[in-house]
Structure 1
């Protein structure tokens, strides 16, 4: 399976803490990660999920995600 990537506006570890429960619920623990060291703050997911599912999970925490 190919890793999917999304550009996000998750800026810091505090933001990451807010989105974690939502992404864990939708994708499962250890099936995603956000690279806070890149300008795009890239979210990578390692499981089958629709872009809409990922976007909605991130939006529940008050952030945005756009598929690359």
Structure 2
């Protein structure tokens, strides 16, 4: 399983509710969550088969900005 992290502008529960139907259309997502308390509004997605590009496309289709989160030094080690 692969975990992706993205910086977004999904900043409240209403925004999460708006993006939910788009995320549910992606077969192969095991789980997803948006940390709205984080200043970068981090979307974390775990999947066996969905690509980073497919996630980005769906979030943009829902009307939100999204970009891959920058990896820290420790993330590159593992």
Is the structural similarity TM-score above 0.5? yes
3-state SS, counterpart of residue 46 of structure 1 = strand
Greater relative CO, 1 or 2 (CA 8 Å, sep 6+): 1
Q: How many residues align?
A: 68
Task: Return the offset for 1:2.
Answer: 3.6
TM-score, length basis structure 2: 0.76
2:66 corresponds in structure 1 to 65
Confirm whether residue 26 of structure 1 aligns to residue 26 of structure 2: yes
| Larger Rg belongs to | 2
**Structure 1: stretches of 5+ with no match in the other structure:** none
CA distance in 2 between partners of 1:4 and 1:29 (Å): 11
Segments of structure 2 that go 5 or more residues without pairing to the other structure are 70-78
1:15 aligned partner: 15
Give TM-score scaled by structure 1 length.
Answer: 0.86
> 1:33·1:45 contact (CA, 8 Å) conserved in 2?
yes
Segments of 4+ moved more than 2 angstroms = 27-30
SS in 2 for 1:23: helix
